Amino acid sequence: QLQLVESGGGLVQPGGSLRLSCVTSQFTLDYYTIGWFRQAPGKEREGVSYISSSGTSTKYADSVKGRFTISRENGKNTVYLQMNSLKPEDTAVYYCAADLTIYSDDVSTNPNEYDYWGQGTQVTVSS
């Protein structure tokens, strides 16, 4: 089964930064819109950020705008989520997911449209 792999999570103090990576060796990410989602204990999964397969369109949840930046490096088959000014409420398991859109500017925030998911990486923001 095709799968993505997230890395870069960990424990960080409030105000700190982390950079998450999403990679796969099984298929090229160039054709896919990539979304980052997160789920905290006892809460529903929420969308955090998205980048189109063309790389020209991005979207962010209001809760992370101005603090998180999504980017992609197609030559490395990798998508990043740079997270700055982290807050305790950012604590969650972060997942990346891929939606086949083929060099499109389209970005869907509906998780049901995403075909492949990773296992997640834990991000804990605490002093």
* pLDDT per position as a tens digit, 43-98: 999 999 999 999 999 999 999 999 999 999 988 899 999 999 999 999 999 999 99
Residue 28 sits at the vertex; the CA angle it makes with 27 and 29, to the nearest 5 degrees, is 115
CB contact at 8 A, 6 and 120: yes
For all residues of the chain together, what is the average pLDDT? 95
DSSP 4: B
State the pLDDT at residue 104.
Answer: 80
Percentage, residues of the chain above pLDDT 70:
100
State the pLDDT at residue 9.
Answer: 98
State the pLDDT at residue 1.
Answer: 77
Distance CA 94, CA 18 (A): 12
Percentage, residues of the chain above pLDDT 90:
84
Residue 121 confidence class, pLDDT cut points 50, 70, 90: very high
Report which residue type is found at 54.
Answer: S
Residue 103, pLDDT > 80, answer no
Distance CA 121, CA 127 (A): 19
State the pLDDT at residue 74.
Answer: 82
Residue 101, pLDDT > 90, answer no
Instruction: Say which residue, 105 or 13, is predicted with more confidence.
Output: 13
CA dist 10 → 56, 91, 94, 100 (Å): 29, 10, 11, 29
Question: Which residues pair with residue 22 across a beta bridge?
Answer: 6, 79
